[in-house]
Amino acid sequence: AQRVTQPEKLLSVFKGAPVELKCNYSYSGSPELFWYVQYSRQRLQLLLRHISRESIKGFTADLNKGETSFHLKKPFAQEEDSAMYYCALKLRSGTYKYIFGTGTRLKVLA
Amino acid sequence: GAGVSQSPRYKVTKRGQDVALRCDPISGHVSLYWYRQALGQGPEFLTYFNYEAQQDKSGLPNDRFSAERPEGSISTLTIQRTEQRDSAMYRCASSLEQGINTGELFFGEGSRLTVL
């Protein structure tokens, strides 16, 4: 079955420290992975997608098909990075729905 | 409007009542998705449409839940005979692209349903 796993519900780091939010997926097809973010009192919004291979707000994520992972990384966390982060998998066969993980709350401490 | 609009933002109802949640997507967006999110959980897929066609309704939990998008724009998610376990945030998202073409999902602010 298709599944997205985010093992950490809460991740607390100090400002300036590196951040890694973990995401693993289970899917037999060709995966398409995303990170969505929800800042306080804002809507859920796209942060980045693996096909773009881009860095957004200093965040990067590399799709590792061997480890079925798509971890989100940032070398130096900022206080404004504090938010809820969701990893999402888009299915690409028969249906094109998105499956979301349970989310990780990132708290960046001053 | 500038973004995806959902109404009502908050709905409190008594067990057994029917509720209708509305989603007005960004103009021109082809795909429309409904998700349910319980506290402490991620968004759970319910159903999605391309234009007016319901492409996948595998996430609807039972036959009390239904959704429509009759003119390929506004969508309504209806829950009949509500139960306390239906209490959750209901999120709508739209996308310019459809199918294998990947577009960004634009989310609304959500409708928080509380069933007493």
Round the average pLDDT of chain B to a whole number and report it.
95
d(CA A79, CA B61): 39
Q: State the nearest Cα–Cα gap between A82 and chain B, in angstroms.
A: 17
Query: How does B45-83 read in b/e, with b if 16+ C-beta sit within 10 Å?
Result: bbbbbbeeebbbeebbeeeebebebeeebebebebeebe
A94, pLDDT greater than 90? no
Q: Please indicate whether, in this complex, the C-beta atoms of A97 and B91 are within 8 angstroms of each other.
A: no
Question: What does each C-alpha distance from B31 to B2, B73, B95 come to in angstroms?
Answer: 17, 9, 5
Q: Please indicate whether, in this complex, the C-beta atoms of A36 and B105 are within 8 angstroms of each other.
A: yes
| A56-79 mean pLDDT | 95
B1, pLDDT greater than 70? no
Amino acid A92: pLDDT: 86
Count of CB atoms situated within 10 Å of the CB of A39: 13
